[in-house]
Amino acid sequence: MLTWTQVRHQAMDLIRFIKTHIDNNSNINIFSRHAGKEIWEQTSGRVSAFVCGAGTGGTIAGVSNYLKSQKPAVKVFLADPPGSSLHNKVFSALCACPQSNSSSGVYA
């Protein structure tokens, strides 16, 4: 049986290997390659603006990267709902959402 100190040390070792979505470029890349491309194709490139709710920021960063690579004039707007994890990351350096955020979404 492990002592509390041993458990804590093992947990800290695991945490060192876990990257959050907000600090992980794969989060942005996956939204760029898939969601951004899908929005572009489904609108036949007729996109003038992109509005996105904030979670970790991966969706807005990835999708806007793709859309702007296709059409630099696309305007991008962040709708940062109260309690979003991105808001908390900016103001408290903690990427956490204290409440369920059912208002985040993607609108193109």
**Which residues contact residue 59 at a Cβ distance below 8 angstroms, ignoring those fewer than 6 apart?**
31, 35, 52, 53, 106
Residue 34 lies in a domain: yes
Per-residue confidence in pLDDT tens, the chain, 108 aa:
778 887 777 777 666 555 566 667 888 888 889 999 999 999 999 999 999 887 677 888 999 999 999 999 999 998 877 666 666 666 765 655 554 444 444 444
Number of domains observed in the structure of the chain: 1
Helices (H) and strands (E) in the chain, counts: 5, 3
Q: Is the dihedral of CA 89, 95, 97, 98 positive or negative?
A: negative
The sign of the torsion formed by the CA atoms of 91, 80, 46, 28 equals: positive
CATH number for the domain that contains residue 89: 3.40.50.1100
Q: Is residue 10 part of a domain?
A: no
Range of the domain at 89: 20-96
51 phi and psi, to 5 degrees?
-120, 135
The verdict on residue 106 lying in a domain is: no
**DSSP designation for 20:** P
Q: Does the global pTM surpass 0.95?
A: no
